[in-house]
Amino acid sequence: MSAIRVILVKDLRIELRTLQSLPAMGLFCVTTFVIFRFGLDRTSLEGSLAAGVLLVTVLFAALLAINRLFVAERDEGGFDAIRLAPIDGTALFFAKVLALFFYLAILEVIALPVFAGFFLDDASGLLPLAGIMLLLDMGLAATGAVISTMGANSRARDLLTPLVLLPLLIPLMIAAAGATEPLLAAGGPSYDGVGTWVLTMALYDLLFVLVGYATYEFVLED
């Protein structure tokens, strides 16, 4: 636990100092909402279209952070430094999952109100939607941390990470869309079927945290 905290604090300190990920993610989200607003020529969205606009935007914003997640480890010898220390290599995995989770949660503090302002007539579904987004964040963070590590030492990493990651995220995104759609329904949120999708997302999150935990030492090896 101590090693996870040490690596996480280091990551957050570097992000606060350099602002390499969060501002880019926030700007990407806002810009994409503007493009959707004018591209769709709609001032209000609901149901599956609203869910799609929100989730696709968050997904691609997450990719920006996932691509940068191990830049310092790769360029400044962090992988070696951590492997030389008498700690479990999975500490790096859990620290990166938590860092990415924090980035995404902070992003959504900005993105959800902006989304509501641009597209929603009724914002009463936002609070339960925030819960769905946290489940989505955990799945993105766990899967992203594993794939980003695998891609970190590849020359084609900018290509490889999204190409491997996106297919793996399809079940999570389907479940997130299924859970989000009734919450953004016309005439106010409905909760029909949301529980099943939430359970699916929770299982996906658990599965990829376990996969990361079980495989990470191997992924870290040369």
Partner 1 sequence: MSANIQATTSISTSKRSLVTEPVVAARSLRRDYGEEPVIRDLSFELPTGETLVVLGPNGAGKSTLLRMLATLLRPTSGDLNVLGAELPKQAWKARGRIGYLGHDALLYADLTLREALHFHAQLHAVEDAESRITSLLSQVGLERRTGQLVRTLSAGQAQRAAVCRCVLHEPELLLLDEPRAHLDPAGYGTVEPLIGRASGATRVVVTHDVEGGLADADRALALRANGAVAYEGPASGLEPADARTIYAERPR
**What's 121's DSSP letter?**
S
Cβ proximity to partner 1, 82 vs 165, nearer residue: 82
Contact flag: residue 74 with partner 1 (CB under 8 A):
no
> Which residue from 12, 30, 56, 87 is in contact with partner 1, where contact means CB under 8 A?
87
Q: Is 1 one of the binding residues for partner 1 (CB under 8 A)?
A: no
CB of 25 to partner 1, least distance (A): 18
Stretch of 81-89, 95-103, 140-148, 163-171 lying at the interface with partner 1 (CB under 8 A): 81-89
Residue window 109-138: x/- pattern of binding to partner 1, with contact defined by CB under 8 A? ------------------------------
Q: What does the alpha-carbon distance between residue 98 and residue 51 come to, in Å, rounded to a whole number?
A: 25
Whose Cβ is closer to partner 1: residue 72's or residue 202's? 72
**What burial class does residue 195 get, using C-beta atoms within 10 Å of its C-beta: 0-12 exposed, 13-18 middle, 19+ buried?**
exposed
Are the C-beta atoms of residues 112 and 53 closer than 8 Å to each other?
no
- Provide CB contacts within 8 A for 136, sequence distance 6+: 55, 58, 104, 172, 176, 201
Q: Cβ contacts of residue 187 below 8 Å, gap of 6+?
A: 122
* Closest CB 86 distance from partner 1, rounded Å: 3
Contact between 69 and partner 1 per CB under 8 A: no
> What is the residue type of 156?
A
Q: Around Cβ 86, how many Cβ atoms within 10 Å?
A: 5
Q: Looking at residue 46, what DSSP letter applies?
A: -
Rule CB under 8 A: say whether 77 interacts with partner 1. Answer: yes
Site for partner 1 in 4-43 (CB under 8 A): 6, 10, 13-14, 17-18
Please say which residue, 80 or 121, places its beta carbon nearer to partner 1.
80
According to the binding rule CB under 8 A, does residue 68 interact with partner 1? no
- Binding piece for partner 1, criterion CB under 8 A, among 23-31, 78-86, 181-189, 203-211: 78-86
What is the distance between the alpha carbons of residues 92 and 1, in angstroms, rounded to a whole number?
11
